[in-house]
Structure formats: C-alpha cells, structure tokens
Structure 1
Amino acid sequence: MTVGEKIKVLRKQLKLTQDDLAKKLGVAPTAVSAWERNANKPLMDKIMVMAELFNVPFTHFFEVDEYDDTYEVKLPLYGNVSCGEGLLVFETPTEYRATPEDWIKSGDYFYVRASGDSMIGARIYDGDILFMRKQEEVENGEIAAVCVDDEIVLKRVFRTNGSFILQSENPNYPPRIFNPKTDKNVRIIGKLEKLIVEF
C-alpha cells in the first residue's frame, strides 16, 4: 500500500474529508489530494502530526518493500534546513532513501549529505550520506548535525558553562563557540547514527 493510500484509508476511518484533514494539518486541500494520488509526499512534520492524529506509529506512512527479506522504509534526505529566529524548518527533501527497518528504533530519522573536509579525521568526506536521529541534545563528544542559520554543519559537540563548542575533525578548522540563549539561529538537529559511503 502506498503512502497516499494509507492516508486515504486512515482519513476515511475518522470520517474526515480532504478539507477537514487539510485544516488540521495547516495545508491546502490540494496538498492532501496530491498525497492521496501519490503525486507528492507529505513532509516529515506533517507525517508526525498525522501519526498522532490517526494514532499510528510514524513508520506506518513509509513504503515497505514486501519482496525483500530485509524490510525497508523510505526516509527523507534533506539538503537544506533553516533555523531563523529560533524556528527550525526542514526544506523539501531532495530524495527519499530506502532504509533497513532494523536501523530504526524509537524516534525520528533522516539523512543529510556531508559537505566539505572539516570532519575527515572522523573518516567523513564530502558527499558521504549521513543517517541521523532527530534530537536537540547529544552527549559531549558525540557527532551531531547542527543548523547554523541556513546551513547544516556536522561537528563534535561539547557543552561547557551553558555554551556549546562545535569541534571539527580537521586541524585547519578552529572550534566554534555558541551560546544557545543569544545565538538563536543555532540548533542541534540530530545525532549521527551511521555513515553511508557510496562508491
């Protein structure tokens, strides 16, 4: 069953029209219609709202390959995330990637693509695909995706005296220090779970 078919079935079970669902999600009715026709796919934030509305796990909306012994779900790969004025906004995914279901525990997951050479000491190179768990806190020394204005940077994160330090894995890049109380356009968006190297 496709994502659109699942949305349509759940919507009808609650006796909602496309207009009703659109109002609850804050989108145009044409968006719901496009989802149900599989002409487009909802963004992750709308999937999370629908999961709560329909009382199903968010993974219910991912397409599962029934012909593969290892079940897979489709997760978004984001090219851009912005956090202007402290509001976090995930842009439209550049693609959806098949992901083994057993990679997904509790929580929300997504992909980003590594850019630059600041993390080469951790064997993370430009163009590598990074599998992330969405969360706003990480332990000291863990590698995280951090939104700085309209840019995603991948760094080791250390907290000290209320601020956090973004540490590269390349001596050519000095640490960057931010205060979450004053630097509103800086936010941790996810913890690195896996590195996918493509040849």
Structure 2
Amino acid sequence: MHIGKRIKKLRKEKKMTQEDLAKILGVKPTAVSAWESGRNKPLMDKVGLMAQYFDVPISYFFEEDKLEEKTIPIKRFAKLPIVGTISCGNGVIAYEDIQGYEEVPGSWLNGGEYFLLEAKGDSMIGARIMDGDLLLIRRQNDVENGEIAAVLIDDEIVLKRVYKTDGTIILQSENPSYKPIVVRPEDMKNIRIIGKLKKVILNF
C-alpha cells in the first residue's frame, strides 16, 4: 500500500471528500487525487499536516508493506483547527491564522468539514455564547431561517442568527444592545455564510 492509499484510507475513515482534505491542506483537489492514485507524492510539510489532523504518527505514511494492512482504530477524538481568520479569494475559502488544534469527541462530527472559532464579545450572550467560548462550526454555505451561523463580512467573521426574507438577509445578535445587520441583495457580494454553529464548548 503506497502513501496515497494510506491517505485515502484515513480520509475515508473520516468520511471526507478529496475536496474537504484539499481545503484543509491548502491544495487543489487534483493534488489529493494525484497522491491517492500514486501519480504524485505530497511534500513533507503536507504529510506533517495530515499526520497532525488525522492524529497518526508521520511514520504511518512510510511503514513497511508488512504493516500496511493493520487497521487504524477509529479515533474517539478528532483534532480540529482553531481558526483565527478566514479569507475568501476567488470564491475559495481558506483558513488563515490557525491558532492551534483542539480535540473534540468524534461523536460530535457527522460527515462534512468542521472547524473551531473563538467567540469574541458579548453580542450573542442571549444564546449563552460568552467571550472566549469555543464554537464548533460545520462548514456550509447556507443555513435555515433562525439558525446561528458563522458569517464572513469582508474579512471579519461574525456569529449571528440568520433570517432570510424577500432576498434580504438579516443578521441578528442575541443582545438587545446590538442592532441587526440588514444585508440587501446589492450588498450580498460582501457577505458569505461559511458555516453553521453545531455546539458551544464552554470556556472554564
């Protein structure tokens, strides 16, 4: 089993697509495809990132053939990046300023891609989201009316409850001290929903 098959095995165990893994590593999906098919090999910095993300030793990718068929136990925990900023150049979302990684129970994750944000300020205290809490976000570009989402406004990430009506989006805080942000159709190019709040990890 070459290194590409090992990458594919880990990816499948996490129920990730090649595109999901590519976004985390900052490469194109075609690069992941080339690795998995054996047409190319990842650079060591990408191997290191994958080892950290999948929580396996780097040596796993280079073990001798006789060890290759050993099954890696399903991880009870997963390491997720704590994202400081997010950019959206050319419509492609990229994580920047990763402040570290946090282990979360695998039972919290149900397919798709997840990341963590740190809550800032008091605009969502009515939803029991306090400054410094970690927020588990499932990456997706839309949410249902009334759900809480991470929203990218220009280069700033905000957490708001989202309401949609007649082509207009209203971003509502959970603190009466903050006025709602009304986004009309002509302003949509500066606004992008990047994920849905799945869980608040309290900061003790």
TM-score (norm 1): 0.70
**1:123 Cα shift?**
0.9
User: Which residue of 1 is the match for residue 170 of structure 2?
Assistant: 165
Matched, 1:17 2:40: yes
**1:129 Cα shift?**
0.2
Superposed, 1:113-192 pairs within 5 Å as 113-192=118-197
Runs (4+) of structure 1 moved beyond 6 Å? 8-13
Supply the AA of the counterpart residue of 1:117: D
**1:7 Cα shift?**
4.1
* Identity across matched positions, percent: 48
**1:193 Cα shift?**
0.5
Unaligned runs of 5+ in 1: 22-31, 43-60
* CA pair 84-184 structure 1, distance change in 2 beyond 3 A: farther
Q: Is residue 62–residue 75 contact of structure 1 (8 Å, CA) maintained in 2?
A: no
Matched, 1:62 2:50: no
SS at match of 1:102: helix
In the comparison of the two structures, how many residue pairs are matched? 163
**1:162 Cα shift?**
0.5
Any idea what the Cα deviations from partners look like across 1:11-59, whole Å, max 9, x if unmatched? Answer: 77633333xx5xxxxxxxxxx22233x2xx26xxxxxxxxxxxxxxxxx
Supply the AA of the counterpart residue of 1:192: L
Matched, 1:35 2:46: yes
Q: Is residue 85–residue 185 contact of structure 1 (8 Å, CA) maintained in 2?
A: no
User: Which residue of 2 is the match for residue 103 of structure 1?
Assistant: 108
* CA pair 197-4 structure 1, distance change in 2 beyond 3 A: farther
SS at match of 2:188: coil
SS at match of 2:117: strand
Q: Is residue 84–residue 150 contact of structure 1 (8 Å, CA) maintained in 2?
A: no
TM-score (norm 2): 0.68
SS at match of 1:35: helix
**1:82 Cα shift?**
2.6
Question: Which protein is richer in helix relative to its size?
Answer: 2
**1:179 Cα shift?**
2.9
Distance 1:97 1:180 in 2: 37
User: Which residue of 1 is the match for residue 29 of structure 2?
Assistant: none
**1:90 Cα shift?**
2.1
Distance 2:141 2:157 in 1: 14
Q: CA RMSD in A?
A: 3.2
